[in-house]
Amino acid sequence: MVTAKEWIGAATDLLYPRNCQLCCQSLSPQERGVICAACLELVPWIKPPFCSRCGLPFSGALDGAFECGYCRELELHFSRGVAACLARGVVLHAIHEFKYHRKLYFGPHLAEWIVTAAREYVPWNAVDVVVPVPLHPRKKRERGFNQAEYLAEKVGEAFGVPVMKRGLRRLRDTPTQTRLDREQRVKNLEGAFDAPDKTLWKGRHVLLVDDVFTTGATLDACARVLRRAGAADVCVLTVARAAFV
């Protein structure tokens, strides 16, 4: 678990003079967080047009909603995916440092990015509950926290929507998926998630939150379980979206 001392230390880092954690330039007192304004200008925001199903950006000129070829070939269990940024550069570095190296001071930046996308692209009149993608208990103990829970809590706070952290469980501690393609990831995730109390989900519109959408296999495995448990709809929200799948 992340200790109170670590969270306090991260908060202290935000309050005192420091250097940008990316370029090492001194931060002015007016600059919030641990990334300078110049580096924040490099954040690769996702703007329309992008796939209405998975959030994959498209570089051409398109009018209206469209579904990319990747999604048309798949039977997805979530109705829509939204991501704030492309998973590269400043954004990917911040995610990795926060997630794998416990550099908690990157958290507010990740939260700001995902809340910005949520404000612009999520239909909040059709969301009943925010749900983080769960970690297996062993991995959560090793990492000290679940980055998806942190993000879900920030999203829930920003929009006044309840966050449900215990209704969706991870049953298997699956091997890392970093080097797997989508087909291998789908197989790797078979039976990995469960929603044992079906009464929690019947008729509910769920916003499923995670840090990165790569192939969508993990998010879709969660959405499948939620839909089978009775959820009326599942949408997906992440900080980042891999540019290629």
Per residue in 171-185, pLDDT tens?
A: 987 766 666 666 777
pLDDT in tens, 85-110: 999 999 999 999 999 999 999 999 99
Kindly state whether residue 4 falls inside one of the protein's structural domains: no
Q: What is the CATH number of the domain that holds 189?
A: 3.40.50
Rounded Cα distance, 96 and 67, in Å: 29
Q: What residues have CB less than 8 Å from 57, skipping those under 6 apart?
A: 46, 47, 49, 50, 51, 86, 241, 243
* 69: confidence class by pLDDT, cuts 50, 70, 90: confident
Kindly state whether residue 106 falls inside one of the protein's structural domains: yes
Rounded Cα distance, 210 and 237, in Å: 7
Q: Which of 181, 204, 185, 209 is nearest to 83 (CA)?
A: 209
Q: Enter the DSSP assignment of 11.
A: H
CA 157, 158, 164, 169 dihedral sign is: negative
pLDDT in tens, 217-242: 899 999 999 999 999 999 999 999 99
Q: What residues have CB less than 8 Å from 90, skipping those under 6 apart?
A: 22, 35, 39, 40, 42, 43, 44
* pLDDT given for residue 17 in this prediction: 46
Tokens of 71: 């999604």
Give me the domain span that covers residue 193: 43-241
Kindly state whether residue 203 falls inside one of the protein's structural domains: yes
Give the H or E element holding residue 94: helix 89-100
* pLDDT given for residue 245 in this prediction: 47
* 186: confidence class by pLDDT, cuts 50, 70, 90: low
Kindly state whether residue 137 falls inside one of the protein's structural domains: yes
* 67: confidence class by pLDDT, cuts 50, 70, 90: confident
Burial of 169: CB neighbours in 10 Å, binned 0-12, 13-18, 19+: middle
Kindly state whether residue 21 falls inside one of the protein's structural domains: no
Kindly state whether residue 54 falls inside one of the protein's structural domains: yes
Kindly state whether residue 8 falls inside one of the protein's structural domains: no
Phi, psi of 205 (to 5 degrees): -100, 115
Give the total number of structural domains in the chain: 1
* pLDDT exceeds 60 at position 159: yes
Q: What is the pTM of this model?
A: 0.88
Kindly state whether residue 22 falls inside one of the protein's structural domains: no
Mean pLDDT of 127-140: 95
* pLDDT given for residue 175 in this prediction: 63
* pLDDT exceeds 60 at position 4: no
* pLDDT given for residue 60 in this prediction: 67
